[in-house]
Amino acid sequence: MRTIPVRFLRAATSTATLRGVDLQEWMDELGIDPVLLFDDRSRITIEQAARLVRAVWKLTGDELAGLGAEPAPLGTFRMICLGVISSPDLGTAMGRFQDFCRIVPSMPTFSIESGPETTRVVYVIDNQDDPTGFLTDMMMSLSVRLFSWLAGRRLPIESVELPHALPDDAEDYDLVFGSHVTFGSPVPAIEFSNEMLTLPLVRSEAELEEWLRNSPSDLLMLRDYGTAISDQVRRILERGLRGPWPTPDEAAAQLSMSTQNMRRLLREEGTSVTRIKEELLRDAAVTSLVRGDETVAQLAERLGFSEPSAFHRAFRRWTGSAPGAYRPGSG
């Protein structure tokens, strides 16, 4: 299972601190060691992130978690989704979503600009309301995941632009959007083919209610239907977590291309076979440690390390912390 970067945790704890919460006690209740806040390489699991979001919702009564110019009362997102789901196609759904955001004071707005071949969605979020860029990231990823879910497929986005500087965890943005992200742009925007506008919505209202009941877990989850080369290589390499690791030559053969061409395409997406394998190992390790269902020695052996000390060194390189920091009750 994939993990989430520490900036998500920092945004949640910042909201809690502003409301006078005892941070140590609050994070102890959530089963997260506060030491993770202090290293940019730290990760949390999707289950931990979901618990964080629910805790912040309970604390603030605000679905924007205190990040917006005004609070969004609990139930706002559900009402917007109910108004969108009866749309005949994705283009209509986007237009309705835009209309709802315009009339709900707490929701950040966006414009839809259609050209001859592509459509561009430009988000309108004041930098003063979002100094860290986290609200922008959240709204853009939320809308992409909502529309992908409604259409039953990951939208093949052609470009993503974000106004803030390149972060340390830039590869996570590529995973979320399924496209290379440009940082330092004048405005936050997403561009995709006009063909996407005619996609029919494949979800029912009953499915929507189930999806919302699982929120925010399903919103945080990354579905494995990406079409980027890195997505495809990741799916092939994931088999190494259950058996022998596929070699680069084997991965390339399954993609019907040469190893050299696969490596070139991965470089263009800002990654590599080695980097993807390291991310898979890191996420598998963090997930196991948080669950506490095997010893470090067992985990190291399962992930293919010759001895626990080699795993300890790799884990500290991945996350900046010792494995013990991710154990339940370690805080």
pLDDT at 227: 60
Among 150, 180, 198, give the residue marking a domain's end. Answer: 198
- 223 in any annotated domain: no
Say whether both 51 and 135 belong to one domain: no
The per-residue pLDDT for 207 is 92
In the predicted model, is pLDDT for residue 129 greater than 90? no
The pLDDT tens digits for 29-52 are 888 888 888 888 899 888 888 888
Is residue 19 predicted with pLDDT exceeding 90?
no
Rounded to whole angstroms, the Cα distance separating 41 from 35 reads 12
Vertex 326, ends 63 and 174: CA angle to 5°?
55
pLDDT of amino acid 311: 96
Over 80: is that where the pLDDT of 130 sits? no
Average pLDDT value for the chain: 88
The answer on 174 and 115 residing in a single domain is: yes
Residues 100 and 187 in one domain: yes
**195 to 37, 88, 94, 151, 211: CA distances (angstroms):** 42, 14, 14, 12, 26
Evaluate whether residue 149 is within a structural domain: yes
| Residue 265 within a domain | yes
User: Which of the listed residues 182, 198, 214 is the one where a domain comes to its end?
Assistant: 198
What domain count does the chain have?
3
DSSP 246: P
- For residue 178, the enclosing domain spans 76-198
Residues 187 and 147 in one domain: yes
**157 domain residue, yes or no:** yes
Q: How confident is the model at residue 128 (pLDDT cuts 50, 70, 90)?
A: low
Can you read off the two tokens belonging to residue 105?
């004071």
Q: How far apart are CA 294 and CA 194, in angstroms?
A: 48
How many residues make up the chain in this entry? Answer: 331
Label residue 319 by pLDDT band (50, 70, 90): very high
- The CATH number linked to 236 is 1.10.10.60
Whether 254 has a pLDDT exceeding 70, the answer reads: yes
- 238 and 151, same structural domain? no
115 within domain boundaries: yes
Residue 331 scores a pLDDT above 60: no
Q: What pLDDT score does 286 carry? A: 95
**What digits encode the pLDDT tens for the residues 65-100?**
887 888 899 999 999 999 999 999 999 999 999 999
pLDDT confidence tier of residue 223, bands split at 50, 70 and 90: low
In a domain, 207, yes or no: no
Note the pLDDT tens digit of each residue in 163-175: 988 877 777 787 7
> Does residue 205 belong to any structural domain of this protein?
no
Write phi, then psi, for 212 (nearest 5 degrees).
Answer: -70, -35
Query: Same structural domain for residues 82 and 194?
Result: yes
| More confident: 330 or 94 | 94
Confidence of residue 329 (pLDDT cuts 50, 70, 90): low
Please report, rounded to a whole number, the percentage of residues in the chain having pLDDT higher than 90.
49
Whether residue 239 is contained in a domain is answered as yes
Write out the DSSP string of 129-193: T-TTSHHHHHHHHHHHHHHHHHHTS---EEEEEESSPPPTTHHHHHHHHSS-EEES-SS-EEEEE
